[in-house]
Structure 1
């Protein structure tokens, strides 16, 4: 792969830059509620050198009943400052699954106007498999101010997505597994309808990854979107179950030259909850 400090970097790249004073590493691990794993406890037991833990559920909008929605700007800024992350830093985000929740924090930082932010390709599993160092020490925090300029074009709410679906104004791309997209299985969240947003197309996020958890090269990514019937020249909105794996699609599309892809933050957790919103099922 070609390292890009604004999208995706290799473990080799990170190892070479590990000692640079303006590098900041974020552990953005998050697990599905039924996974039986505690991301914060795993971070404390061992993380990449100097990494800070980003709690996706805590650094969110607690005024919303929906999971881990985009936090208020003031809350985001205060949490990042508490982590010692601010203007002028090159940020690398990883997670313990390979390439999963790290993309959500990459997108969130882009939404807040940051650009020097990359996901670690293959995440902690690849780093550890290569015998690279980890530690259980808390990082040394040095305060730095963070300036935020929200990029509203990178996020969509339910009203905007409903309009885009009804009027066919954008490619709506769903990152969930095919059986959930088609409504063939019950949604894992209680009291939630099964199906998809009408007119949406399915690109299962795992189809964008190699067997080792790294992301496919640009030719491989392009082939996946083409096979799903995605028109690459149209406006795009990515969605999923709760706004996490949709960001993997946005990361992949950014690598394909699209830096204007919006994420539907509420995703199916919101759409599937409202009986007055239309759904589609099956293959049509």
Structure 2
């Protein structure tokens, strides 16, 4: 008869799962031993810490080399089928040695779910985050802030990558601030995207209008602006245009309003506080004109090995099954453009998001782009239908440290309006 320890009997009596018992006796692997086994490290922390934000003052920053990020906080949003698809996407075989690191609670939650879908070689990474010189992080992780960081900043606590001068928080959205009035981040102002783009093509407004908008909201070139939106790409659209204008430090709340709401941090309702206008922006607009391309500049990137004009549109839009918009009739895409992925339709960006809506790992994004010959040393310009999705990917590429990136503002709407412009339709592959 198999002997059962008193601890095991007690645990069973209390209704604890066998996986909890297994966790109590879990194997540990050092990083070097994991590599010898061709195993994979999995970071179970939230993506902000994986990207480079320290969890504590002077704490380690970043993640173990080649580690995957599977945050325990995502699990409630992932079915077993979605988790299996994540594992398959990352080429994890059932016999692959997996070493988890993060808090004990998070490691256990992730281990339980991985065991449930058939992964059995699960250990704890014994020396995780103990060698700072080997850790990897986003070159500009500070451009994607997370809720607790922003809350601490608002409370005047010491934070990593603190703005050097004046800073302001804004919610960005299209039209009247209906949802903002009901609930928003305390102290946040509101920017209507109609203040930065206009019909007929929903391109950027004139530089003079930009200057007036920035003055109205009390923004100078040296003001740190932190933006969030109910839709991340609305905030990204405003952020990218502000960078073009010359605001030096523009940051996004990674995952947008949802991450703040899910965090349980304070909210407020009502109208924004009155802002003192700042008529002196401090530099000539645009201070960074290279960040926004016109149609001829975009055309100049086509069919080059050292450049990519990148379509951030859904696959059905890219191949011409749909235009993606009720107000854009032509279908297809720019001939010679490379597909940069997007999401299921013109209003989604799943290909770039973790289950909680935060930015997917830089390695995943870079690999996705590399498959279409889009690489960081190129001159890369993103476009979509009218600029929102392209702006979101621009902000991610910028955080990833890509040096020469821009947005083709006119996008498919402008390109398709000229019958002389070459258009491609139908299924196609990378060059």
Q: TM-score range by the shorter chain?
A: 0.7 to 0.9
1:11 is aligned to: 147
Q: How does 1:121-270 map to 2 (within 5 A)?
A: 121-137=254-270, 138-144=272-278, 145-149=280-284, 150=286, 151-165=288-302, 170-190=307-327, 192-205=329-342, 206=349, 207-270=351-414
Aligned residue pairs, count: 273
Q: Any idea what SS the aligned residue of 2:195 has?
A: coil
Comparing 202-211 and 144-153, the one that deviates more = 144-153
Judge conservation of contact 1:182–1:195 (CA < 8 Å) in 2: yes
State the shift of 1:243 in Å: 0.9
Matches of 2:262 and 2:201 in 1, distance apart?
36
Q: How does 1:36-75 map to 2 (within 5 A)?
A: 40-60=177-197, 62=198, 65-67=200-202, 69-75=203-209
State the shift of 1:74 in Å: 2.3
State the shift of 1:162 in Å: 2.2
Matches of 1:124 and 1:39 in 2, distance apart?
17
Cα deviation digits, residues 133-172 of structure 1 (max 9, x gap)? 2212322413333224421111111122223326676201
Judge conservation of contact 2:183–2:267 (CA < 8 Å) in 1: yes
1:35 is aligned to: none
Matches of 1:146 and 1:193 in 2, distance apart?
40
Which has the higher relative contact order, 1 or 2, with Cα contacts under 8 A spaced 6 or more apart? 1
Residue 117 of structure 1 pairs with residue 250 of structure 2: yes
Matches of 2:150 and 2:211 in 1, distance apart?
25
Pick closer, same or farther for the CA change 1:103–1:128 going to 2, 3 Å: same
Cα deviation digits, residues 10-59 of structure 1 (max 9, x gap)? 112111112458220111123xxxxxxx5521122221111111111233
Matches of 1:50 and 1:140 in 2, distance apart?
11
State the shift of 1:177 in Å: 0.6
* Shift >4 Å, 4+ stretches: 3-6, 166-169
Aligned-pair RMSD on alpha carbons?
Answer: 2.2
Comparing 183-192 and 73-82, the one that deviates more = 183-192
Residue 104 of structure 1 pairs with residue 237 of structure 2: yes
Matches of 1:186 and 1:78 in 2, distance apart?
34
Cα deviation digits, residues 44-100 of structure 1 (max 9, x gap)? 22211111111112333x5x6211x22222221222222222243221100013x22
2:419 is aligned to: 275
Q: Any idea what SS the aligned residue of 1:193 has?
A: coil
Matches of 1:187 and 1:221 in 2, distance apart?
23
Pick closer, same or farther for the CA change 1:231–1:237 going to 2, 3 Å: same
TM, length-normalised to structure 1: 0.88
Matches of 1:109 and 1:236 in 2, distance apart?
19
Q: How does 1:26-45 map to 2 (within 5 A)?
A: 26-30=170-174, 40-45=177-182
Judge conservation of contact 2:318–2:333 (CA < 8 Å) in 1: yes
TM, length-normalised to structure 2: 0.59
Matches of 1:184 and 1:280 in 2, distance apart?
11
Judge conservation of contact 1:5–1:117 (CA < 8 Å) in 2: no
- Contiguous gaps of at least 5 residues in structure 2: 1-50, 54-139, 157-164, 343-348
Matches of 2:336 and 2:372 in 1, distance apart?
12
State the shift of 1:251 in Å: 1.3
